[in-house]
Amino acid sequence: MDEIYHMEEHFEPEALESLKESYRKIIEALGEDVSREGLLKTPERVAKAMAFMTHGYSVDPREIILSAKFQEDYKHMVLVKDIDLYSLCEHHLLPFYGKAHVAYIPNRYITGLSKIARVVDSFARRLQVQERLTVQIRDCIQEALDPLGVAVVIEASHMCMQIRGVQRLNSTTTTSAFTGVFLSQSKTREEFIHLIGSHLK
């Protein structure tokens, strides 16, 4: 939880003020009365929420991994499964959320398991599309650790689809991105897919 407060403090006061002013205008444009009690503090609350939901811009995901990069001879799959993911669709500014599953096969170097989750979070907390998010996580780990391969699968529900009835309420979008042995060895890829229990073929 500490990190949350840290992120909010980290946000530039001027940017926060500008967001607040903009949200006040949006509420007015909706025909609402921003001075009524229930809405009085809404622009500030929404500005802070938006700042938090996009705090990934102030984080360098590569640095997160490099800060905990250790030499190790382990050469089997390292899998971090079911990482909670919350992001914002850049087309509608509405949340998409779900799970990320990330695996890599070390090549002399490993990183802390919590760092993988933080890399996912720092890319997710931006304006995103699920496809790019998947590839950015993959590339970051590949570049920072130079492993034998990286696999990323994201399963997410998009509110922009759900509220317009484009998708059935429970349907999810699955994206995947692989490098190295996950691409060249179907057995390794299949093992990963089996381990995460995905419906992905």
Which residues contact Zn ion (rule: CB under 5 A)?
Answer: 89, 91-92, 160
Smallest distance from Zn ion to CB 17, Å: 27
Q: Which of 8, 44, 160, 162 is catalytic?
A: 160
140 a catalytic residue: no
How far is it, in rounded angstroms, from Cα 194 to Cα 162? 28
Q: Which residue lies nearer to Zn ion by CB, 75 or 91?
A: 91
Smallest distance from Zn ion to CB 186, Å: 33
Smallest distance from Zn ion to CB 91, Å: 4
Q: Which residue lies nearer to Zn ion by CB, 50 or 89?
A: 89
Q: Which residue lies nearer to Zn ion by CB, 51 or 161?
A: 161
- What is the CA 73 to chain-centroid distance, rounded? 29
Q: Which of 55, 101, 136, 158 is catalytic?
A: 158
How far is it, in rounded angstroms, from Cα 78 to Cα 14? 42
State the virtual CA torsion across 153, 183, 107, 72 in degrees, nearest 10: 40
Nearest to 87 by CA among 9, 173, 19: 173
Q: Which of 10, 63, 91, 143 is catalytic?
A: 91
Q: How far lies 69's CA from each of 103, 109, 156, in Å?
A: 16, 6, 29
Q: Which residues are designated catalytic?
A: 89-92, 130, 158, 160
